Chain A
Amino acid sequence: MAPDKTGRPARSLAKLGTWDVLVIVVLVGVIVASSVLVEGFASPRFWGFLLLDVTPIALIALPMTLVVITGEIDLSVASTLGLASAVMGQLWFLGLPLPVILPLVVLLGALLGAVNGLFVAGFGLPSLAVTIGTLALYRGLAYVVLGDRAIADFPFSWTANSIEALPGTTVPWVALVVAALAVVFGVVLHATPIGRSLYAMGNNTQAATFAGISVNRTKFWLYVLTGAIAALAGIFWTLRYASARADNGSGLELSVVAAVLLGGVSIFGGRGTLVGVLAGVLLLMTLRNALQLADVPADTLTVVTGALLIISVVGPNVAQMLRDRLRRRRATAQPVAGA
């Protein structure tokens, strides 16, 4: 079913696939259309708010892209975010200073990721099943840690700083952090042997193993990385909303997966680019916020997100199917034409 499993990562790096180009075109289309049609869309303030909304999804989408390219998935990211938030709140409640808490929370995220990695890479269990399990487990633990309380008395300097814009602009500084991380991830994925090995793993695990790639070890560390970054997103979330709660970020995994798939990463692994994913994240959130600015009701927004997810899963496959059918028709038509 997975299209284009030819295992030629080097060539797919050289040029973007057709789907990611399509997403970028649609993104530009949405931006142009909204600038004309939606009052207030073309303001710097809109983009400032949008970038803040995008940050947690974009952050988690970076490692998620790598995970999905290897043919796996991590659905526990939003629960990791929630547990990180809960632990952060509890530690602050117990009186630890934030400079001590933050590294601990990121470490915790890495540990939670390691648990996923152990089950997926160590025991060879399906990542979908494992991370649906830890999705529930980590969220449950978040409630064990913080219960129904909300810890909100973080120092103003920290909470205000988390949404601070760069001087003279509306661009939040966290957007720069995301951009810097995106460059690092992009270089690793598209210009290093590690990146090529991820594509190889997604295309054909056995072949990758024979080629000398330590598939399991790579996958394990990918999950560790994903956990750590989800915890980082949890810290940002907690500070931005000045509220550590066990239910923070619930449902966010869907937005992340939707953005990654929308960006052209194949759910079957082996295909996709980071540029496409970033375009996917932006498309999802720009459309959402633009519709919201145009007073479209919340339920419609949910429908739009759902529709985009379906399009992103079905779209590339339908396109491929049509292409194959045309090719087959040509192939059968040719001898007749030649005769």
Chain B
Amino acid sequence: MRGIRTNPLHLGTSVLVLTALLMSSAACASDEGSTPSGDSNGDGTIRSGLSVAFLPKTVNNPYFTVSDNGGKAAVDEFEGEYKEVGPSEASASSQVSYLNTLTQQGSDVIVVSANDPNAICGAVNQARQGGAKVVTFDSDTNKDCRDLFVNQVTGQGIAENQVKLISEAIGGEGKIAILSATANATNQNAWIDLMKTELKKPEYAKIQLVTTVYGNDEDQKSFQETQGLLASYPDLKGIVSPTTVGVAAAARYLSGSQYKGKVALTGLGTPNQMREFVKNGTVKNFALWSPADLGYLAAYAGAALASGVITGKEGDKFTAGKLGEYTVDADGVVVLGPPTVFDSANIDQFNF
């Protein structure tokens, strides 16, 4: 009787253990078994065989897919080992366990876009103690934590560009609102502050920024926030959304509503996401740096550090493949360049 009674449980045990084993071995199969064969070339060139890991704010985010693929292209060029890992939700602490994992795996270079400027600092320091060079890109941590920050553009450049675009789109006069990403996104908040300063200039005196709302870089939330904006401010003339998820969601809402062509929209978006909205007249123009180039530059910056080409101090110079030579600015910042403006005339030349 006892034997019969426990039988199903025995079966259950075997199935569970088997499942666990299968999952572990499947996991192992996808592991790249990284033991870099580092051979230093000595004379200011990048070592081959560096293991470079990209840790985006979230995985399966179109923007980071493009930028990380740019990183992969760079890693392929200098014959390193590339991988991308990351959390599926953008909370403050979610990147920490991934940093811990990369530390254990002995990554040479970690390229990370921080969800929170402080939450990952401790883990970044542990990674650096473990021998990794840590480069932030897109969104920085505290400057004391990381080795370098690869900035897409200066915040000032973004602010000037975005305010100019929205001012032109609404004819220099009226109420505007900002649709941002998460409330703690370092870069977003810096840009918004700079935009506010920019709006104080005399030429923008007739523009009034009424509110900033947060779509959390989620499509649905951004869509709803846009809807809410237009319900709360019926006389809104324009929306600036300096985030790729937000601007696409806002464009989708406007495109399907009575506000299409009446409420102006601009922001930072990718050409592929925004193409149909530029062509159907919802959006006149928008801007972005090339995210692929950003990832590409970040990978080279990290590899230059790990190869001892640069130490990350101000004035250090390194060559980033096809993008040419870059110089490290104050506080360990490397700036990619000015943003590109996309409109109906040039959008078809881009595919990302």
Contact = CB atoms under 8 A, between A and B. Distances in A.
A and B associate in one complex: yes
Nearest to A52: B100
Nearest to B35: A39
Contacts of A295: 27, 30-32, 83, 85
Contact of B118 (A46, A243, A287, A293): A243
Interface string B1-27: 100111111001100110011011111
A149 B117 CA distance: 12
B17 A248 contact: no
Given A38-B24, A298-B86, A292 B92 contact: no
Interface in B241-298: none
B60 A304 contact: no
The listed residue with most A CB atoms (<10 A of its CB), out of B6, B25, B93, is B93
B13 A22 contact: yes
B227 interface: no
Given A18-B9, A30-B24, A289 B97 contact: yes
Interface in A111-155: 147-150, 152
B87 A245 contact: no
A319 B116 contact: no
B104 A296 contact: no
A59 to B, nearest CB: 15
A29 B59 contact: no
Chain B contact surface mostly: helix
B16 A242 contact: no
Contacts of A18: 6, 9
A240 B89 CA distance: 19
A186 interface: no
A299 to B, nearest CB: 5
A195 to B, nearest CB: 26
Interface residues of A, number: 59
Contact of B98 (A292, A311, A319): A292
A153 to B, nearest CB: 9
Contacts of B103: 45
A83 interface: no
A294 B184 CA distance: 30
A287 to B, nearest CB: 7
A315 B12 contact: yes
Contact of A150 (B5, B85, B184): B184
B270 to A, nearest CB: 22
A318 B8 CA distance: 9
B218 to A, nearest CB: 13
Contacts of B97: 49, 53, 289, 292
A304 B83 CA distance: 22
A293 B96 CA distance: 13
A294 B28 contact: yes
A204 B253 CA distance: 54
Contact of A247 (B7, B17, B92, B101): B92
Nearest to A327: B5
Contacts of B101: 49, 289, 292-293
Nearest to B29: A294
B183 interface: yes
A304 B19 CA distance: 11
A319 B12 contact: yes
B91 interface: yes
B122 interface: yes
Interface string B55-69: 000011000000000
B118 A296 contact: no
A15 B320 CA distance: 65
Contacts of A327: 5
Q: Return the 7 tightest CB-CB contacts between A and B, nearest first.
A: A148-B183, A294-B27, A152-B118, A298-B88, A241-B119, A322-B8, A29-B17
Interface of A: 18, 22, 25-26, 29-30, 33-34, 37-40, 43, 45-46, 49, 53, 147-150, 152, 159-160, 163, 237, 240-243, 245, 247-248, 250-251, 287, 289-299, 301-302, 304, 311, 315, 318-319, 322-323, 326-327, 330
